[in-house]
Structure 1
Amino acid sequence: MNLQVLGFKGEISSVGDTLSQINSIKKDDEIIQLLNADAVAGRRHIEHGVNQAFLAFSRGENLANDLSVEICLRCSAQRQISKAFDILGLKEGLMNLCAVLIDCDDYADDLSSVFELDESVLIPNTEKLKDIY
């Protein structure tokens, strides 16, 4: 598995349109998962969540049918998809974004044409994390 974690800032005018735009960038066997970076406690948090999602699928213990959704569940430490999306999902407006790319070509430039690359959004903010969790 090849994992990339990138930070971005961006305006989400429509969650559905944004997801369609991101899905048009990747190939069918690749995963690009966008998460609320404000609810992410750094790269290791994402690496651990992705690892747990893969383990859940390999053991048949996955809660979601889709690996991207399972990653959101595991990274949010939730068992309900709706709660995971409330915490880590996209929302309309200006957002700090964590892009999780699995087995992808290098899409940093493609994503940078949609959002502003900003790795600083991946630095954990303890106060925000306390409010969220």
Structure 2
Amino acid sequence: MDLKIIGLKGKIDSVSDTLNQLNSIKKDSEIIQLLNADAVAGKRHIEHGVNQAFLAFDRDENLANDLSVEICLRCSAQRQISKAFDLLGLKEGPMNLCAVLIDCDDYTSQLSSLFTLDDDVLTPDAGKLKEIYDISDDELEIIDVENVLIDRISKLVVDY
């Protein structure tokens, strides 16, 4: 698997139009997943979620029928699609975005025609993430916010 994670800034006028634009530039075997970068705790967080999504499909433990949705579920450390989309999904208006490209050609130029490239949006804001994911001060005394989310993603596999 070839995985690229890119930070973007932009304005979403229509979620469905944006998804249609992404679908029109990629090939069938490729995945381009846009996530709310404000709910991302760094590239390791996303890498772990993507790996867990692939493992879930390999083991027949996937929670969703679609790999892109499974990636959103795993990265959000949620079991319910609606909750995952609330946390990491696209919303209309200005957004910081995390683009997850799997087995893709280099679509940087196409993405930069839709959005502004900005990897700084992938720098975690611990205070914001603490609120988004309801992370306690006790958890953050032990490990950083990125590792809290990685731990929660890993527990999705165990907690049935």
Query: What TM-score results when the alignment is normalised by the length of structure 2?
Result: 0.83
Which residue pairs with 2:148 in the alignment? none
1:47: Cα distance to partner?
Answer: 0.2
Report the Cα distance in structure 2 between the residues aligned to 1:23 and 1:96, rounded to whole angstroms: 20
Aligned positions, number? 133
Q: Whose Rg is larger?
A: 2
Which residue is equivalent to 2:38?
A: 38
Q: How many percent identity over aligned positions?
A: 79
Gaps of 5+ in 1: none
Alignment-derived partner of residue 89 in structure 1: 89
Distance of 1:23 and 1:97 partners within structure 2: 17
1:10-34 deviations in Å (ceiling 9; x for gaps): 0000000000011111001000000
Task: Give the Cα–Cα distance (whole angstroms) in 2 for the partners of residues 84 and 55 of structure 1.
Answer: 18
- Partner in structure 2 of residue 118 of structure 1: 118
The one-letter code of the counterpart of 1:122 is L
Residue 102 of structure 1 is matched in structure 2 by 102
Shift of 1:131: 1.5
Structure 1 residue 60 displacement after superposition: 0.1
Secondary structure of the residue aligned to 2:114 is coil
2:8 paired with 1:24: no
For 2:109 and 2:38, the matched residues in 1 are separated by: 22
Answering whether residue 62 of structure 2 is matched by residue 62 of structure 1, we say: yes
Q: Could you list the per-position Cα deviations for residues 15-63 of structure 1 after superposition, in whole angstroms to 9, with x for gaps in the alignment? A: 0000001111100100000000000000000000000000000000000
Amino acid at match of 1:128: K
**1:41-97 Cα distance to aligned partner (Å, 9 max, x none):** 000000000000000000000000000000000000000000000000000000000
Residue aligning to 1:78: 78
2: distance between equivalents of 1:129 and 1:117? 22
2:140 is matched with: none
Give the secondary-structure state (helix, strand or coil) at the position aligned to 2:27.
Answer: coil
For 2:88, give the aligned amino acid.
Answer: L
CA RMSD of aligned residues (A): 0.4
Give 5+ residue unaligned stretches, structure 2: 134-160
**SS of 1:113's equivalent?**
helix
Three-state SS of the structure 2 residue aligned to 1:22 is: helix
Aligned letter for 1:115? F
Secondary structure, counterpart of 1:32 in structure 2 = strand
Task: Tell me the residue number matched to 1:9.
Answer: 9
TM-score by length of 1: 0.99
Structure with the bigger percentage of helix: 2
Counterpart residue type for residue 129 of structure 2: L
Superposition deviation, residue 130 in structure 1: 1.1
